Amino acid sequence: MNRGAGRPNHQRVSAPSQTQVLVTLHINGETQSVAVSSQATLLEALRDGLGLTGTKQGCDKGDCGACTVLARPLDENAARASGSSSRGEPILSCITLAQDAQGLALTTIEGLAGAQGLDSIQRAFADCGALQCGFCQPGMMLSARALLDSNPQPSLPQIQAALSGNLCRCTGYTKIYEAVQVAAGMRMPSHARPVRSEPAPGVDGPRVEVKEIAT
Amino acid sequence: MLTLPMLAVHQPKSVDEAVALLRDIPGARLLAGGTDIVPNLKYGMYETGNLVALRGISRELRYIREEESELRIGAMCSVDQLANHARVIELFPSLADAASQIAGPQLRRMGTVGGNLCLDTRCVYINQSHFWRSALGYCLKKDGTVCHVVKGGQRCVAAASNDTAPILVALGAMVRLVSPRGERIIPLDDFYIADGVKNTQLARDELLVEARIPLAAARLRQAYGKLRLRQAIDFPALNFGVTISVEEQKVAALRLCVGALAARPALVRHVDELRGRPVSTPEEIRALGQELGLRAQRQCKPLTNIGVDPEWRREILPVLVRRGVERALLS
């Protein structure tokens, strides 16, 4: 009866983005300039503008944590004042505007591994088989990294609280929590070797090592 | 994938510059942590092409300090900072508790105290995609003429869903508002109005810059309570702040403020009758909590504006209030 009452006269869907702006982002120790639409989110700038597709787009409205990146104020004094740990704190890139992220030093999943290879969190996730579909994993590992940077020996409730903004719909979290404890040096993986998945029936291809896809 | 409408982002370097921008750009909206406004913009809830981003004035407004017998909290403090601040935990543990229960870890790092106090009201019929809302024919809060919660309702009843507001109202907090015309300091309780479309007194060119809590309120026995389905991320299905002044083991004053009902947090009325009630034993405290809970239940009417069964919310309210009173007085 009231359907269509007061329907707005603007076309929201397919509104063209006409205004491009050049934003300067500080990502994984490098300064990069990228042209994006003025309303682009940080997530869109990372994935579409810079090709850093390790950061995932999940719910796109700030609930699921798949788009988590680490951020600290670029200004070192401000960073100290806010008590930021070395790589910063986890934030959600899907609800951060790219233009508003220019004053932040960002770490994405691509920047987690160093010259020595995988970060201890990445190695622990691989060793514990702490993933199934893997979609939540980049955000999960960054939240875990931020936790261990500020609290190197967290209790299980502290780990659960720190990861409570990252939703995983596959694993049930048990192995994820285990991986964080392994990365913290608090325990060994419950399996000595990475869990390898069986190939699907009728599929005869090379198996992919967990470690190769955990970056 | 949810896309944002076309937006110009303005980045002032001072409070004065920010409020001048608000004055000069009709319809401009504020962007602080972005945790509320960005999803809402993606849903097409606002007609605006301009955002005034406040990150550049973080330094000016990111403080928690004691001044003139008040604890003053800058609006750009993150919710996480509030939850973990040693003096806040010591003086107003109920406020730190409320802040620590907001959303999830990332959102607490991003969200600001000012943003939480100015949080837009929420409703199952408005916090939906434009497509979803268009299919239903819109509603009072945006683009429509009907309320889907209260049939025939003429006033929007979207729920005030901020976690810090009920406890700050119960603590007697004030807020400082700045505009190009000057500043004003008003009780937080007066800041909110019972209109879900726009539930604060904030003028178009005004910025909430600070919350102030009288240090004397640190003597109050206090508790915050929150009902939610998951222990993280969720907005409140009900929440409340309760403060009790105890003198000679009797109630001298009491305030209970309940949120997540309708457009503003509601102070439960007629609680002065509970003055003088003895609270020296656990049984007396329980009896006070039950009495206060029943008064809250009589005055609070949960609606279908939140996707959690209103009957259950109505039944559980007195239980939560009683537990809150016990936490405040037994701890």
The C-alpha atoms of residue B73 and residue B66 are separated, in whole angstroms, by: 9
CB B326 within 8 Å of CB B318: no
Chain B contact set for A103 (CB, 8 A): 55-56
- Residue B109: predicted pLDDT: 97
Instruction: Judge whether B60 is closer than 8 Å to chain A, CB to CB.
Output: no
Return the minimum-mean-pLDDT range out of A7-16, A24-33, B249-258: A7-16
Give the Cα separation of B83 and B18 in Å (integer). Answer: 27
| A7 pLDDT more than 50 | no
Nearest chain B Cα distance for residue A65, angstroms: 8
Fold equal for B58-118+159-217 and B219-330 = no
CATH 3.30.2130.10 is right for the domain spanning B58-118+159-217: no
pLDDT tens digits for range A39-92: 999 999 999 999 999 999 999 999 999 999 999 998 866 666 565 557 899 999
Across-strand partners of B139?
Answer: B142, B143
According to CATH, what is the number of the domain B219-330?
3.30.390.50
The CA distance from B113 to B108, in Å, is 10
Q: Which of B193, B160, B206 is nearest to B29 (CA)?
A: B206
For residue B319, what pLDDT is reported? 98
Write down the residue that tokens 């000016």 correspond to: B60
Q: Could you tell me the fold of the domain covering A20-111?
A: Ubiquitin-like (UB roll) (3.10.20)
C-alpha B135/C-alpha A3 separation (Å) is 7
Contact with chain B for residue A9, Cβ under 8 A: no
Contact A180, A105 (CB under 8 A): no
- A127-154: per-residue pLDDT in tens? 999 999 999 999 999 999 999 999 999 9
The Cα B95–Cα A178 span in angstroms is 33
Q: What is the pLDDT of residue A205?
A: 55
ipTM: 0.95
Contact B166, B259 (CB under 8 A): yes
DSSP state of B208: E
A148-175 residue pLDDT tens: 999 999 999 999 999 999 999 999 999 9
Report the alpha-carbon distance of residue B128 to residue B133 in Å, rounded: 6
Domain map of chain A by residue range?
20-111, 120-196+209-213
Residue with tokens 């401009």: B28
Q: Where are the domains of chain B?
A: 58-118+159-217, 219-330
pLDDT tens for each residue of B100-120? 999 999 999 999 999 999 999
- Residue among B97, B106, B108, B230 with most chain A CBs within 10 A, to mutate: B106
- CATH code for residues A120-196+209-213: 1.10.150.120
CB distance from A8 to chain B under 8 Å? yes
